Amino acid sequence: MKYIEEFGDFRLAQDLATQIARLSKRPVNLMEVCGSHTAAIFRHGIRDLLPSTIRLLSGPGCPVCVTAASDVDKALAIARTPGVVFATFGDMMRVSGSEGNLQQARAEGSDVRIVYSPLDALDFAQREPTKRVVFFAVGFETTSPLIAATLKRAISLGVENFSVFSVHKLIPPALRVLVSSQEVNIDGFMLPGHVSAIIGTSPYRFLAEEFHTPAVVSGFEPLDILQSILMLVVQREIGRAEIEIQYRRVVSAEGNRRALRLLEEIFCPVYDSWRGLGTIPQSGLKLRKGLKKWDAEAHFDLPSRPVQEDPDCQCGKVLRGVILPTQCSLFGKRCTPENPLGPCMVSAEGTCSAHYRYGVLA
């Protein structure tokens, strides 16, 4: 099966749109949590196929967007230390802390390298034994197992000049904050497809059992997204609240046990600070105490001052689905993709960035 072609089929898409329009009677707010869903919805113009009863909100599932500015400052402090090779995923390069960003640090002479995989960073450490290689571990449950596996390999190979600065986060605790929010009524969640491939569906059960809110694990092709919206609308219309899987070709209810075991071996959940959502208990991942040798935070003198956010920046409200980017006074004026003031504009999958780059103009 050729997914990209078949799952973008015009006629099938129009059929799903027709079914959605026929069934959707009451106005609903559906939140898609994952940055890739935000981007896909815009890229394919999904909103144009939906009836006016459905309002799609974007949530905080963009790891770049929710990384605290104080963590970016720590990353910069590490990167600017002489003798350090700072390895990072590409989309963290342009996120600003209080003193610039990694892209600028590189331009100023720091050895900052973009990698596709943490294994590449481990490779640097092995090839350059006089350098201290630090990997900036950003990402949700889709990504953290890979970092865990890389660390395991580093440990077994005895690579001592490799360490990880983890700012990994977990999705379900953020969902709890969102669904309990007084600011906006969320009638259903489109759940992140690849995070769910790792964690399965049981971590989401509280949405249905405690909050009577339906949720559907969705794939990323246009037909996946439309089918998930249909499934949410159906549940809403008949008053059901269940966790369903639309993305059945990739996601199973019990998730990926091996990945989960790896995570447990290497990381432990901690109280963590999310840009826009504040501090959430058990929502971040840090290295277990016994792994201090590979924990960058134990090796560097890191600043811990709280960072002054721009008081006009409304990223928090955008990340919580309270306002649309177009309702932020800075959007498109002081804050643009070339000159991003807040993280929602920096990441290619940030809500503001997607609105700006893909949004059809008034």
Interacting residues toward other proteins by CB under 8 A: 2, 4-5, 8-10, 13-14, 17, 36, 42-49, 63-64, 89-94, 100, 103-104, 106-108, 114, 116, 138-140, 142-143, 194, 222, 226, 332-333, 336-339, 347-349, 356-361
Shortest CB 291 distance to other proteins, Å = 22
Residues 6+ apart with CB under 8 A from 12: 223
Taking the least distance from each CB to other proteins, the nearer of 294 and 356 is 356
Considering the complex, state which of residue 93 and residue 241 has its C-beta at the smaller distance from other proteins: 93
The 3-state DSSP class for residue 162 equals strand
Task: Match 């949590």 to its residue by tokens.
Answer: 33
Least distance to other proteins, CB of residue 56, Å:
12
Cα distance between residue 189 and residue 56, in whole Å = 10
What's the token pair of residue 162? 């490799």
Pairing mode, if any, of strands 188-191 and 28-34? parallel
Comparison of 41 and 208: residue with beta carbon closer to other proteins: 41
Q: Which is nearer to other proteins, 149 or 208 (CB)?
A: 149
Cβ 64 to other proteins, closest distance in Å?
7
- Using CA atoms, how far apart are residues 218 and 121, in angstroms rounded to an integer? 31
Shortest distance (Å) from residue 241 CB to other proteins: 28
Separation of alpha carbons 247 and 223, rounded Å: 11
Residues facing residue 162 across a β-bridge: 133
Least gap, CB of 225 to other proteins (angstroms): 10
Residues contacting residue 11 through CB under 8 Å, at least 6 positions apart? none
Which CB sits closer to other proteins, 317 or 355?
A: 355
User: Could you give the 3-state DSSP secondary structure of residue 231?
Assistant: helix
